[in-house]
Chain A
Amino acid sequence: MAKFKPNTQVDFVVIGSGIAGGIMAKELSTAGFQVVILEQGDYLHEKDFRYDQLKKTSTSSLLNDDVPTTFRQTDKEKAVHSTAFRYGRCVGGGTVHYSGSSWRHHESDFIERSIYGPVAGTGFADWPLTYAELEPYYTKVEWEIGYSGLGGVSPFESPRSKPYPLPPMPNKSSGVLMERAAQKLGYHAVPVPVAMLSQAYRGRSACIHCGFCSGYGCKVGAKSSSLASVIPIVEKSGRCELRTNSYVREISVDKNGRVTGAVYFDANKKEVFQRAKAVLLCANGLESPRLLLLSKSSLFPNGLANTNGVVGKYFMPGCGASAHGIFEHELNEYKSVTTTRGIEDFYNADPKRGYYGGGRIDARGNNGPITFALGGLPPDTPRWGSDYKKALKENFNRTLTIQAFCTALPQESNNITLDPDVKDAWGLAAMRVTYKDHPDDMKNKAFFRERALELVDAAGAIKKWADPVREEKAMGHTMGTCRMGNDPKTSVVDRFNRAHDIPNLFVVDGSSFVTTARNHPTCTISALAFRAADNIIRMSKNGSIKAPTDS
């Protein structure tokens, strides 16, 4: 691995080693540029990951649980501590522990405002780029990161230029039940594309179906995380240094409004300034806006790239609705990947429903013994005693979940701000999340709750129930907050993820999403990263990335 001195002006500093940062660093270092990645978390390896649900749920080292974050629903409330805003705080970021469902957006996702018109009380807008422009990069993601799936079977899928590199994962019982239900109801069950290797690929191992995907690091590197896919290439490039335990507290700016590098705390909490010609901020939909807001200067008193005050606004989480059913025979859903079949028959919004909203639905099982034993049984089951034990024994392996992933509208009042009262262990203002669902989001969840129940029923459940429709107070899919657009007055970055305010600052991750599509943002985050990197390489060659003048 390359090594650089902090006072050497490298070509790029990349903040964050998640899939966005990993792809940017890989593309740029292999194209000949000098890159330093600053990652606040540790470097965890395959041997560090454990099959241990208790460790995951109570003493996690993968996640940001120990970092204070506060939550409130509206700006009238005082925000309180919350551990519900999760991301991966380690090399590889959230892709280390994610479930790997990796759907492309549809053509329509980029132009929904044009299709459906405005939605009251929201910043509902088209994206400043089209599916056709992103398509080659989706293909690149699937082939370079390593996806398994089956194109061409969904009647709803947008055109693709190449099939998936690997066949889909073997279908699970939940997937077969989904197929049955879909057939009965006239819907179309299709294989879920996953960032997992169904077969060995490019020197990496195939999935061994251990079942520890969601919330766990993969012990055999079959999950196509940033850690398993691009970080090894970055390290071999000889032009990139990956610095861990390096927590960036500020992106610095000169008097001409160009960024000059990043100030970070090293493992000993000592401040270091790394100089760079340009900065690529890939810290995710929560931390990227926070870091911009923390980076105040006389030129940017409201935070970097925030002249228009849009940084942090239009935060969108993943919305959901779900139903469950018990079946006659064993599903054994604790094995293999999270989900293998989904339906997109209600993907598009339908004005006839009287509100905006759509979703994708998949079939899955329980989330491991502890979660199931504590909360996976039907709500009318006794909570302890011999009948509880009997239900636990009989149903752990016979329970199906139908999970819908629904739209969340972009609202200005939903945002990431700096908490005025709470500080982290480095003395920096904690992240404060303000979020309340739009009335259309609530109606949509109620609609999908019914669809989920209908599917459980059609699959042949002997008992069924649905979770109540809830307001979102926890999220793992973090989108919006540095939205992309052509108009510098209403967006933070342009169509190539370059900050409108600053020519040598790029923000690439879920923060640039304009709308949510139907969740599962990672495939699109990855495609945006490949596209932004391509453009940065082009701009570097023709001199249009303006490095700080005082260099």
Chain B
Amino acid sequence: MKKPISKKQGASRRSFLAGSATGLSSVWLASQWPGILAAQEHAQKVARSGKPGKLGFFSEEQAAEVESVAAQIIPTDETPGAREAGCLYFIDRALTTFDREQQPVYTQGLETLQAKTRELVPNAGKFSGLTAAQQIQVLKAIETTPFFAQIRLHTITGFVANPEYGGNQDKIGWNLIGFESKFHYAAPFGYYDGQSELSAGTRKG
């Protein structure tokens, strides 16, 4: 079976050349890929750079609360977390675009949060004013509410969604998890790849 395979490889080289001669074929696209991606990325950066984050749904006061909750879901430690990634802006945008129907969940949820804060921490003001330990205590008490489920979903999604949605700013989320976002790679892809018995195109025995 070796022979037909090498014959085929010859054929595909010919079609590769034929393809690239016809101009804007997808063969051309692939060869230009890294450049195109770099250009896209640049455009996105420019689009982002004007922003000190304008809010469309939350008031300043609500925003501080939401940001504090998000920062407990993905905290800042030796690496940046939800706060630095801008998950607040992701959530705000989601609530004014593709997740509008979740607005009441936040409006009511923030009231529940306030009530729980007062209940558990005597003389407390806002949730955002609590210590980290107190915040965790309050969130544990509302962990099973629809509000917490929703803000968890949004915070985590925003943290690793494409940066243009407002969270994952400067690819903070992707960098943390090790997602390279080059969108074109060559083997070996991971640690174990080099150790394949049947590597591409070769036959054992």
State yes or no: do A and B come from one complex.
yes
Contact B30 A163 (CB under 8 A): no
Is B25 among interface residues, defined by CB-CB distance under 8 A? yes
Q: Which residues of B contact A372 (CB under 8 A)?
A: 177
Supposing A153-B204, A369-B160, A385-B72 touch, asked if A203 and B185 sit within 8 A by C-beta, the answer is: no
Supposing A59-B98, A165-B8, A389-B77 touch, asked if A332 and B189 sit within 8 A by C-beta, the answer is: yes
Which one, B29, B79, B191, B196, contacts A171 given CB within 8 A? B196
CA distance A52 to B161 in the complex (A): 7
CA distance A211 to B182 in the complex (A): 10
Partner-contacting stretch, out of A95-103, A390-398, A527-535, A536-544: A390-398
> Contact flags (1/0) for A205-249 with B, using CB distance below 8 Å?
110111110000001111000001000000000000000000000
Contact A167 B152 (CB under 8 A): no
Contact A389 B81 (CB under 8 A): yes
Is A13 among interface residues, defined by CB-CB distance under 8 A? no
> Contact flags (1/0) for B14-56 with A, using CB distance below 8 Å?
0110110010011101100100000000000000000000000
User: Which residues of B (147-205) have their CB < 8 Å from a CB of A?
Assistant: 152-153, 156-157, 159-162, 165, 173-174, 176-180, 183-193, 195-201, 203-204
Interface size band for B:
35 or more
Is A191 among interface residues, defined by CB-CB distance under 8 A? yes
Q: Which residues of A contact B77 (CB under 8 A)?
A: 386, 389
Contact B193 A209 (CB under 8 A): no
Is B73 among interface residues, defined by CB-CB distance under 8 A? yes
CA distance A457 to B118 in the complex (A): 49
Which one, A203, A220, A331, contacts B191 given CB within 8 A? A331
In the assembled complex, the CB of A49 is this many whole angstroms from the nearest CB of chain B, namely 11
CA distance A400 to B41 in the complex (A): 30
Q: Which residues of A contact B180 (CB under 8 A)?
A: 335
Q: Which residues of A contact B8 (CB under 8 A)?
A: 163, 165-166
Which one, B29, B162, B173, B190, contacts A54 given CB within 8 A? B162
> Contact flags (1/0) for B76-109 with A, using CB distance below 8 Å?
0101010000000000000000110000000000
CA distance A374 to B198 in the complex (A): 34
CA distance A152 to B173 in the complex (A): 44
Contact B178 A333 (CB under 8 A): no
In the assembled complex, the CB of B174 is this many whole angstroms from the nearest CB of chain A, namely 7
Write the chain B residue with the least CB distance to A204.
Answer: B26
In the assembled complex, the CB of B53 is this many whole angstroms from the nearest CB of chain A, namely 19
Q: Which residues of B contact A168 (CB under 8 A)?
A: 198, 200-201
Which one, A167, A203, A204, A206, contacts B201 given CB within 8 A? A167
Q: Which residues of A contact B121 (CB under 8 A)?
A: none
In the assembled complex, the CB of A232 is this many whole angstroms from the nearest CB of chain B, namely 10
Which one, B12, B33, B198, contacts A179 given CB within 8 A? B198
CA distance A290 to B136 in the complex (A): 52
Contact B203 A153 (CB under 8 A): yes
Q: Which residues of A contact B9 (CB under 8 A)?
A: 167, 199
Contact A173 B187 (CB under 8 A): no
Is A198 among interface residues, defined by CB-CB distance under 8 A? yes
Write the chain B residue with the least CB distance to A197.
Answer: B12
Q: Which residues of B contact A167 (CB under 8 A)?
A: 5, 9, 200-201
Is A373 among interface residues, defined by CB-CB distance under 8 A? yes
Interface size band for A:
35 or more
Which one, B12, B161, B197, B203, contacts A370 given CB within 8 A? B161
In the assembled complex, the CB of A442 is this many whole angstroms from the nearest CB of chain B, namely 29
Is A125 among interface residues, defined by CB-CB distance under 8 A? no
Q: Which residues of A contact B110 (CB under 8 A)?
A: none
A interface secondary structure, majority: loop
Supposing A222-B30, A374-B156 touch, asked if A331 and B190 sit within 8 A by C-beta, the answer is: yes
Is A334 among interface residues, defined by CB-CB distance under 8 A? yes
Supposing A370-B161, A374-B156, A385-B72 touch, asked if A179 and B190 sit within 8 A by C-beta, the answer is: no
Is A81 among interface residues, defined by CB-CB distance under 8 A? no
> Contact flags (1/0) for A180-216 with B, using CB distance below 8 Å?
0000000001010000001111111110111110000
Is B4 among interface residues, defined by CB-CB distance under 8 A? yes
Q: Which residues of B contact A210 (CB under 8 A)?
A: 183-185
CA distance A46 to B26 in the complex (A): 9
Which one, A150, A201, A211, A396, contacts B12 given CB within 8 A? A201
> Contact flags (1/0) for A309-321 with B, using CB distance below 8 Å?
0000000000000
CA distance A198 to B8 in the complex (A): 12
Write the chain A residue with the least CB distance to B158.
Answer: A54
Contact B190 A330 (CB under 8 A): yes
Is B74 among interface residues, defined by CB-CB distance under 8 A? yes
Q: Known A-B contacts: A167-B201, A331-B189. Give 9 more (CB < 8 A).
A: A173-B190, A177-B192, A203-B22, A204-B25, A221-B29, A384-B73, A384-B139, A392-B176, A392-B177
Question: Can you identify 14 A-B contacts, CB atoms within 8 angstroms?
Answer: A52-B162, A163-B5, A170-B200, A173-B189, A173-B191, A173-B192, A176-B192, A198-B200, A205-B19, A331-B190, A331-B192, A369-B177, A373-B157, A373-B173
Q: Which 6 A-B pairs have the closest CB atoms?
A: A167-B201, A173-B190, A329-B191, A170-B187, A221-B26, A369-B160
